[in-house]
Structure 1
Amino acid sequence: MATKLQIENAEQLIYENELLQLTVLGGIKIEGLDRMRITVKLELQESSRPPIRHNLDLYNDTQLEKFIRKCAEKLEIGTSVISASLSELTEELEKYRIERIKEVEQNLKLKIKQLNLAEKEEAETFLKSKDLLNKTNELIGKSGVIGEEINRLLMYIIFTSRQREQPLHVISLGSSGTGKTHLQEKVGELVPEEERVSITTLSENAFYYFGKQELKHKVILIEDLDGAENALYPLRELQTKKRIVKTIASKNNKGETQTKYLVVEGPVCVAGCTTKEYIYEDNANRSFLIYLDESQEQDEKIMAYQRQISSGEINFYEQKEIQGFLQNTQRILEPIRVINPFANKLNLPQSVFKPRRTNNHYLQFIEAITFYYQYQREKKYDKQTGEEYIEVTIEDIENANSLLKEILLRKSDELTGSCRNYLELLKSYLKLKKKKQFTALEIRKQLRLPKTSQWRYHKQLVDAYLIKKVEKKGKQTNQYQVTNEKEYKELETQIQTMLDDCLQDIKRSIVPKRSKAKVERSKVTKTAS
């Protein structure tokens, strides 16, 4: 009879030869290759003798020898027959375990979708279309992202940068219930499933136990940074150094202590949500900060969408189709170097805080847009290295300036995002009521704010001299007044002027080159004549 392990039932593995039948009850564990503990039922073929049941480690010689002698005595057969049968069983179980490990690993791996020719052509045609960013933004909206037109496109471009050697990162800020996680989740669904990792909570050492290249060029979506505080340090290291290493002590088979290195490599693109701006300052410095739209207009858009869902007017199948299409456009983007020939002429306003990092983010975002436009950019080759690259165009800079205007404005503001929102709502209220002065209670009731939040905002605003107390004789209630109603508009104008001036400078520098080239071509034509 040919030796064979019957594996139809994983909980009852049967091995037979001409003399014996060995049944492994309960199957075997596939983890821990340094041992093979089993519960075995051993019986003679075509015999009335009762079978022998025993649990042992097949890799433990002492246990094995005792078991062989016991079986030989009870079944009255030679020890060599039992020893040979157990040896053959061990080999079969080893093969079976290796196959099971491979099978489990394959199941854990996300299957990378292979695009057919029609899907590739459709994605390429879209990426070559005019007004690509606006068309992309329209599709993002149709995929189920309501409102947040600037923020959703910003986030999409940032997620696209994961394929580059210097990916960008983003943190969504806003009050509780404003849809931070929803925005991140819905835009994240436009990234191919095999290239994103969604995390709800993180332990301190969680990142160290990913595979060495398991996170490379992936988007890490952290639902709530408040639940991942202990993991923020390795996360920052992964963002900055693109590699984290941890040493741990463990014992080998001989009981000797040895040092192991846990290495996880990037680069990665990280996205997270929080209501607490100051707590995550170190992480925020490495990221684009997106402040969610908390306006009444955005509330109306969300509620209208909720009513459409309830009335059955939303086509969820169409949303899934659009998600799949945008994922396909991401799949055909290829890593390519981007060079910005205009970088030396791009300057940020002096009002921007932490200009070194912000300047780097600004330049990288322009490159990310060029990367997304790679099917519309001429491929060039480095004369020395032969490396392929594409160049930033004026259109890319204009698109970046349009999307980043609010980001740069916030980066130039000495107030936190929530405090700035409060001040602008306060200004709107005073303008509507044609008032100059106000009480804290009056505004708190109008904006429906908790007293502690308003107290925190007022402290910031008084320290920044953006509001001041007005004392009036005979009145116990404090009156306040806004010191400069136009300060934010002035800051916005300053930033816009700086960006426009840089663009005009670039355009002026290009025109003479084009004119010179035209003159040279004219001379060549006349000479030929």
Structure 2
Amino acid sequence: MKNTNNAITNNALHPEGFIKIDFDPKTTLQGEEPLLNGYGLDLTNTDFIKYQSGNLEAEVIGGINTIALTRFQVMLKISRRPQLSAGDVYRNNVDLYNENNIQHFIKQASIKLKLESTKIADFIYDLTERLETYRKDKTINKEEKPVIPLSSDHEQKKTAQLLKSETLLEDLQSLLAQSGMPCGKIALKLLLIALSSKQTSVVHGILQGNAELTSEIIKTFSSILPPETNRFKTSISDSVLYYAPNENYWKNKVLLLPSIDTLGKKNTAITELILQGQVNRLVTENTEQGTYRASNKSVNGNLSFISSTAKGYHELMNSDTVMALPISNPNAVKEAIATIEIKRFAGLLDEREIQNNQRRLQGLFREIKSMTVINPYLEQLNISATFNKDNRLIAQFLRIINLIALLHQKQLTVIQKNGANQIEVQPRYMVQALELFREIWFKEEKELSFNVSGTLNRIRKTLMKDFPDSHKETDFLVKDMRAKLKVSPSSLARHINILYDYGKLERTGGNQRDGYSYKVTSWNDTNDTAQQYETFKNEILAL
């Protein structure tokens, strides 16, 4: 007799005439609840996977094995629903890849449950297809476990000596330079920022400068981070943050992108993650059936972000968690990169020594553990006045102090309090934070480019001409100033953002749609930042 059922016709009959029913997760109803996932399985507890069809329910006790893939040994429990008595259950070990095993299981279950063997066979084969698809996906998406090379006793001793060195920051700068970094000072700043991924309060860094230089710095720095922490990507889409290979993919990691200038307006999740510290969205998704449903998407885990911009300014820099790191010595960095490349092509570069130093730094990074950092000296310093009440700079300064203390944890007394390890900041760490990031805390006017400095002087002259008696207290709208200076909107907007970032302008009102108003805060060409720096440094040294 001719069979018109294509699904059955295209499948071979199993022994004893049982029909194998194909299961395709793409055609299975999708949903948010565990019972309605793509496999049709209840995965609420993966040690007790459940599946129900008709009046039969299966439970895989102990979960499934993802190591020995040539076998599919499970402890399978099958019961009738509703279960009228304790006897309406059959349990046994079965290898779902062994046909003799399966046939024996079907026969015994049929006798125990008083059901036709064909019905149980259909149920078992259907369950097998679903479990197989689930196991395949689980194998592909299982959490990575990078092989961490064991350090020799000699290497461990050298790492311990380095972490206990009284000149730890200077020694690290030297080691970073010997690891292929074109600038040890920039590398040390990036290392401190990367260490924040171990803490609950993360810090991000954006290098400012020539794209060729900054991308080379970030690429080389990625070799210094341990593979299990490093998330170096040349580009990234918005959705990849949600659909990570595993749930811990972004947890306590460092995401490195050569440039944020290439990110489009659709990459809002990264911006949201950096500015707000988390992503938690309710979005609309299109199902396989062509309908729509609401879905909650979130990104969890402490993720530190390191990238660069060639535009001088980026909106992310408005956040107190984002450190803007200008390349203040571009010629020296460019020369160092060229020298390394020339030596490499000439065969004069000791690649083995560089790799050994990179492994030392990776081992050092692993040795640093998450700890609570307490600063008992803050009340003795007038930090608010020193930083002109700039909350963003104050927050960044305090975070860097804590990260320097975290780096020195092997030299400090660790106290157990409320179930967590705790260390205290030393005054010298505050001086080190002040000196290492000086160009961020105390930006001098001479650091501005010629064009930006020229725009500031023209704004000053315009205000002094229009308001000779009150120019220092007068606000101005960007669009009004643009008409007076006769410059392009994009150029003036970029210059205004840089001047605002340098503390030369103060935003006094407005909004993004109608435009912002500003007030000039710096009227003297001879900046007193050097004196401000020395005064605050002496306050710390007096503690």
| TM-score, normalised with respect to structure 2 | 0.61
What's 2:352 paired with?
317
Distance 1:417-1:338 versus aligned 2 partners, 3 A rule: farther
Distance 1:232-1:124 versus aligned 2 partners, 3 A rule: farther
Shift of 1:251: 7.2
Superposed, 1:387-466 pairs within 5 Å as: 387-410=420-443, 413=445, 416=448
What's 2:219 paired with?
185
Shift of 1:310: 1.6
What's 2:302 paired with?
267
Shift of 1:317: 2.5
Shift of 1:339: 0.6
Q: Is the 8 A contact 2:320 2:395 kept in 1?
A: no
Shift of 1:365: 0.3
Superposed, 1:78-477 pairs within 5 Å as: 86-106=122-142, 109-111=144-146, 113=148, 115=150, 118=153, 120-146=156-182, 148-177=183-212, 179-210=213-244, 213-230=248-265, 233-250=268-285, 258-280=293-315, 282-283=317-318, 286-348=321-383, 352=387, 355-382=390-417, 385=418, 387-410=420-443, 413=445, 416=448
SS in 1 for 2:349: coil
Shift of 1:236: 4.0
* 2:534 maps to 1:497: yes
Shift of 1:18: 6.2
Q: Is the 8 A contact 1:16 1:22 kept in 2?
A: yes
364-373 vs 337-346, which deviates more?
A: 337-346
Distance in 1 of aligned mates of 2:372 and 2:494: 48
Q: Deviations over 1:329-369 (max 9, x none)?
A: 11121111111111223445858577111011101101100
Shift of 1:282: 4.6
Distance in 1 of aligned mates of 2:325 and 2:229: 22
318-327 vs 26-35, which deviates more?
A: 26-35
Q: Is the 8 A contact 2:192 2:403 kept in 1?
A: yes
SS in 2 for 1:388: strand
Distance in 1 of aligned mates of 2:223 and 2:40: 41
Q: Is the 8 A contact 1:246 1:261 kept in 2?
A: yes
One-letter amino acid of the counterpart of residue 202, structure 2: P
Q: Deviations over 1:136-176 (max 9, x none)?
A: 11111111112x23222111111112111112111101134
Distance in 2 of aligned mates of 1:100 and 1:19: 28
Distance 1:216-1:17 versus aligned 2 partners, 3 A rule: same
From the CA coordinates, give the structure whose radius of gyration is larger.
1
Q: Is the 8 A contact 2:317 2:324 kept in 1?
A: no
Higher helix share: 1
Give the gaps of 5 or more residues in structure 1. 1-12, 36-79, 424-451, 467-483, 507-529
Distance in 1 of aligned mates of 2:161 and 2:336: 31
What's 1:523 paired with?
none
SS in 2 for 1:230: coil
Q: Is the 8 A contact 2:401 2:425 kept in 1?
A: yes
Shift of 1:213: 4.5
183-192 vs 211-220, which deviates more?
A: 211-220
One-letter amino acid of the counterpart of residue 275, structure 1: A
SS in 1 for 2:423: strand
Distance in 2 of aligned mates of 1:29 and 1:114: 44
* 2:68 maps to 1:33: no
SS in 1 for 2:340: helix
SS in 2 for 1:193: coil
189-198 vs 359-368, which deviates more?
A: 189-198
Distance in 2 of aligned mates of 1:502 and 1:363: 16
Distance in 2 of aligned mates of 1:83 and 1:409: 79
SS in 2 for 1:273: strand
Distance in 1 of aligned mates of 2:396 and 2:419: 28
Distance 1:212-1:422 versus aligned 2 partners, 3 A rule: farther
Q: Is the 8 A contact 2:238 2:270 kept in 1?
A: no
Distance in 2 of aligned mates of 1:88 and 1:458: 66
Distance in 2 of aligned mates of 1:282 and 1:332: 30
Give the gaps of 5 or more residues in structure 2. 1-10, 29-36, 42-115, 456-487, 505-521
| TM-score, normalised with respect to structure 1 | 0.63
Distance in 2 of aligned mates of 1:159 and 1:167: 9
- Identical aligned pairs, as a percentage? 18
Distance in 1 of aligned mates of 2:352 and 2:406: 30
Distance in 2 of aligned mates of 1:499 and 1:88: 75
Distance in 1 of aligned mates of 2:330 and 2:141: 48
Distance in 1 of aligned mates of 2:318 and 2:12: 56
Q: Is the 8 A contact 1:192 1:331 kept in 2?
A: yes
Q: Is the 8 A contact 1:377 1:390 kept in 2?
A: yes
SS in 2 for 1:111: coil
Distance in 2 of aligned mates of 1:347 and 1:420: 31
Q: Is the 8 A contact 2:376 2:425 kept in 1?
A: yes
SS in 1 for 2:280: strand
Q: Deviations over 1:467-492 (max 9, x none)?
A: xxxxxxxxxxxxxxxxx9x956x544
Q: Is the 8 A contact 2:215 2:258 kept in 1?
A: yes
What's 2:82 paired with?
none
Distance in 1 of aligned mates of 2:13 and 2:382: 75
Distance in 2 of aligned mates of 1:277 and 1:462: 11
Q: Is the 8 A contact 2:204 2:305 kept in 1?
A: yes
Q: Deviations over 1:270-307 (max 9, x none)?
A: 11111112343555654211111455444333322222
One-letter amino acid of the counterpart of residue 530, structure 2: T
270-279 vs 365-374, which deviates more?
A: 270-279
Shift of 1:309: 1.2
One-letter amino acid of the counterpart of residue 33, structure 1: Y
Distance in 2 of aligned mates of 1:253 and 1:293: 53
Shift of 1:459: 8.4
Distance 1:295-1:235 versus aligned 2 partners, 3 A rule: closer
